[in-house]
Amino acid sequence: MPRDSSQAKREMLAECRAYYRGNDHELARINEFARTYRSADAINWYTRDCFLYRLVNKALRTEDIRALYRFRFFIVDMCARLEEEAAIASTYHNAPFRVYRGSQLGRDEVEQMRIGTLVATNGYLSTSRHLNVAQIFIGIDSDTGMSPSRSRKDRRQYVLFEIDVDLAQSTDVVVVDVSGQSAIPDENEIIFNLGTTFIITHIMYDDEHYLWHAQMVSSSEVAELNRHYNEYVRGHLVDVNATLLFGQFLAEISGDYAETIVYFHRLLRRLSADDEDRPNIYYFLGRAYRFIGKYQQAITYFRCAQLLQRRKVPQWSFDYGRTLGVLGTVYSEMGDLTQAIRLEEKALAIHSYCLPQDHVEMVDNWNRLAYAYWQEKNYERALIMLSNSLSLSKRKMPVNYPNHAQVVCTMGLVQHALGNREEALNYLKQSLQMRESLLADDHPVVARTCYELGIIYAERDDEHTLALQYARRALHIQEVKLPPNHRELMLTMNLVQRISQQNNCIASL
């Protein structure tokens, strides 16, 4: 996450002061932080009952991308300190241990928890070595053991988690005993870093005390998935710095392309004319404009990226090839397939020259070409490209990753064009499932997959209800996320209208 040190600190403090305007007690704490804070103090400040803990946790819990960006200064420090402390502790303490956490959860959330379910944290997970501390946090009566709830049907449920950790099995888990640095050392607090994942091994409801008991473990399977994911990210992103990555994730994960454009234009204003990051910023702006259907602006920014890349790097380089490849996709979506295929083939040639044949970027190259060939109705060539892409993505990418989901989606389109309806549905449903697990629920890419499923289901009169469900879901997302004249939005509106009219005709027979 981009930090920009002094600027990031000023932005965070301004946000905190605005939130606590009129609260003299918290404003005094904020001023103390501004005067005295050092990176080494991150854990101590986080454990204090003050503005920082509340606002950082709120940003992490809601996954508000703007709030996360404003608190990047502290989040980077906190993650770094936890990783440093965990590395030190691992040299002298590696025995399994158990910690506890008390939580209030909605009834729907609890009902979704099953044995074998993965649980991923979206913040720093605070736990304690002492059971009674976890019980106190959710208001369990120390004498009777009763929770404040009186029924498993109450809207709010009380859950006591027992978490077993074996660092010898889950070497990637970052967990730290912070009692020595905590502002409240008696709690014997143990903190897990962002994104830690667990597997539920047991869950039951205690009818006597109106309390859920859930047992979880850190998993070697999860550790392996994380390792593959990290290897993929390192290989795929090459030398893009954290500031640019944050802007990229605005688009990739949240699908907030308008915010992405604002973010990168803001970066451009801060950079000198010869800054080395300008080509990449132009590239990411081109991608964002492409996603919202503003193709001429996209072409302009890709051409700017090309021009600077020609001056700074050899034309047979990763960056130059990547720019050509995505520019080809713009022409593909504009219907200029001759230009699209020419650019895609050149991008593939460049990356075949400068990258290993099993580099993950080749997955995207082959998939982009396959998409263009599908549009051209050259299905044989499309299948050749997709065969290469799927084979490599299965070996090099995590199974649940956006790029792999895109390859699976393209295969669905080609299979549908070839008349293989059931195979097409299978591929598209796989792609949708992956995207739903990885991206925001209202991401335009999710809508695009729903639209394609709606198209296929609309072909049969007895499946129009299902077709309409998918088409309406796509439309609801696109009406919020895309400009009113976007091509994909128009196509989905027409699909919904067509299915509705067909349903009316069938009903009148």
pLDDT in tens, 137-164: 888 876 776 777 778 888 889 999 999 9
Reply yes or no on whether the pLDDT at 415 is more than 70: yes
Distances in Å between the Cα of 88 and the Cα atoms of 92, 175, 374 are: 8, 11, 54
Pick the residue with more confidence: 169 or 279? 279
Reply yes or no on whether the pLDDT at 433 is more than 70: yes
User: What average pLDDT does the structure give for the chain?
Assistant: 85
The predicted structure's pLDDT at residue 491: 96
Band of the pLDDT at 361, cuts 50, 70, 90? confident
Query: Which range (108-117, 235-244, 298-307) has the least confidence?
Result: 235-244
Q: At what angle do helices 242-249 and 257-270 cross, to 10 degrees?
A: 160
Reply yes or no on whether the pLDDT at 234 is more than 70: no
Band of the pLDDT at 434, cuts 50, 70, 90? confident
Give the SS3 label for residue 204.
strand
Mean predicted confidence (pLDDT) in 188-214: 87
The predicted structure's pLDDT at residue 63: 60
Q: What percent of the chain has pLDDT over 90?
A: 45
Identify the H or E element spanning 213: strand 211-217
Reply yes or no on whether the pLDDT at 173 is more than 90: no
Mean predicted confidence (pLDDT) in 292-303: 94
Q: Please, how many CA atoms are within 13 Å of residue 12, restricted to the half-sphere of its CB?
A: 26
Band of the pLDDT at 64, cuts 50, 70, 90? low
177 forms bridges with which residues in the sheet? 190
The end-to-end CA distance of the chain, in Å, is: 59
The predicted structure's pLDDT at residue 238: 44
Pick the residue with more confidence: 108 or 500? 500
**Residue 147 CB burial class (10 angstroms; 0-12, 13-18, ≥19):** buried
Query: Which range (19-23, 103-107, 221-225, 451-455) has the least confidence?
Result: 221-225
CA 90 – CA 88 distance, rounded (Å): 6
Structure confidence by residue, pLDDT tens digits, 396-406:
766 556 788 99
| CB contact at 8 A, 210 and 146 | yes
Mean predicted confidence (pLDDT) in 27-36: 96
The predicted structure's pLDDT at residue 109: 81
Band of the pLDDT at 423, cuts 50, 70, 90? very high
The predicted structure's pLDDT at residue 385: 96
Band of the pLDDT at 62, cuts 50, 70, 90? low
Out of 5-9, 220-224, 239-243, 413-417, the most confident range is: 413-417
Domains of the chain: 5-83 (no CATH), 94-218 (3.90.176.10), 231-440 (1.25.40.10)
CA 56 – CA 51 distance, rounded (Å): 8
The predicted structure's pLDDT at residue 146: 75
Give the Cα-Cα-Cα angle 183, 188, 193 (nearest 5 degrees).
80
The reported pTM is 0.62
Give the SS3 label for residue 183.
coil
Q: What type of residue is 5?
A: S
Reply yes or no on whether the pLDDT at 3 is more than 90: no
Band of the pLDDT at 372, cuts 50, 70, 90? very high
Structure confidence by residue, pLDDT tens digits, 478-499:
999 898 989 999 999 999 999 9
